[in-house]
Each structure stands twice: as structure tokens, then as C-alpha cells.
Structure 1
Amino acid sequence: MAGELTLDWDTLTASIDAEQQLVVLTACPGTPSHDAPRILASWATNHQQSAPDAAT
């Protein structure tokens, strides 16, 4: 659906525990790799809004 994405990544390691890491993925603004996740997120939001509420 979204196609191939080209992403940069950074890993942040906790200073008190080297096994704890946070990986951050980013895409250059204005590229298809930047736009695709936003489009997918909007589809998911629209799907959730149109789905019947299971709690009622």
C-alpha cells in the first residue's frame, strides 16, 4: 500500500542502562517516504471513526 520507504534512523541509548534504547525513524519532508505514513495514519483514523462502536 505505502510502497518502499527510505528512512533515516537514530538510536539513543540510556546512560544508566546500555540495554535500554530508543530508535527514532525519520523521513525527509516532502518525500514520498514522509507522506506515506501520514496517509496511512489518516486511513486508520477514518476507518476507526466509521466503524460501529463495539461498546454500545
Structure 2
Amino acid sequence: MRHTHISHALAAGAPLETVKQNAGHASLDTTTRYVTTEDARRMAAMKRFFEGDNA
């Protein structure tokens, strides 16, 4: 049930950080495993942008 909740929450657009905290994950990497491929690509692009690697 826990994994289903995480997957459904992320698919519904819940913020990754909120889902991470609710799941009790120590790392965003753990929570990100539940993100679909398309969403994962989008998150990776945004992460690169905010880290300054947007060349």
C-alpha cells in the first residue's frame, strides 16, 4: 500500500519533497524511483537548471 500511495501521489502532482517526507525517505533519490519516465526526465532537466548546468 505504501508504494502505491507514493506512486499515485506523484502521478497526481504532489510535490516530490512532500511525498519524500511523508514516505520517510532519507533521500530524494529513493522517492524519485517512483516517478514515471516522462516525469523523471522533466525533474532531471529542472534539477540541472537550478544547479546551474543549463547549457
TM-score, L = length of structure 1: 0.34
Which structure dedicates a bigger proportion of its chain to helix? 2
Q: As a proportion of its length, which structure holds more strand?
A: 1
TM score, norm. by length of structure 2: 0.35
- Larger CA Rg, structure 1 vs 2: 1
